[in-house]
Amino acid sequence: MARRVWRLALVVVLLLVVGAVVLALTTRPRLSDDRSAVDHQWTPLRAPLAARYDKLTGATGAFITAGGGDRAITKDLLTTLKTWSLLHKVPDAKADAVKEATTANDLEGLGRRLRATISGSPRFASAPPVTDAITAFETTIPPPTLVKSYNDAVTKYEHARSGLLHQTVADTFGYDSRPVLQIGG
């Protein structure tokens, strides 16, 4: 009886190992292809986003000049814009799409905060250089088709990563999550 249990346990363990190997061999190529598609879709977004964040840099400068230099939003913007600038200096082929997309989303949120700060203050809302600069940022948007293509690729990749078994393979082999790009709002 003990021999049968031992053999059965051995068969179950072997089936689990074989199943894990088959899952890894069938899941990794899809994950790799989908991650490459995300990176490929990110590359054409880099230049339009750089133009957008140049405008945000201008809006931040106008806000500082108008007396907003001591605000938390200003400090957050300066730090995140510096991070973006350093990331964007890297050539396309070596770009870290995850860090850039995360930083882009951070800048988008900070841009919304800056707009709310400007709108909520009569001093800033009545300063044409400030309102013109934030409007320039808000109207400089990347082509929606590029954003949609990137976000579609991310959605497909994240779907491939989801599920208990696929998530385990993804985590084991370093297929990290990718953020959807959230422009404007």
**Phi, psi values for residue 32, rounded to 5°:** -65, -45
pLDDT for 156: 92
pLDDT for 166: 65
pLDDT for 93: 66
Q: Which residues does 161 contact at the CB level (< 8 Å), separation at least 6?
A: 31, 167, 170, 175, 177
Surface-to-core class of residue 143, CB atoms within 10 Å of its CB (0-12 exposed, 13-18 middle, 19+ buried): exposed
**Residue recorded with tokens 């909520």:** 120
| pTM summary value | 0.83
Tokens standing for residue 109: 């949120």
pLDDT for 28: 58
Q: Which residues of the chain have pLDDT under 70?
A: 1-2, 5, 7-29, 92-93, 163-166, 168-171, 173-174, 185
150 three-class SS: helix
pLDDT for 23: 46
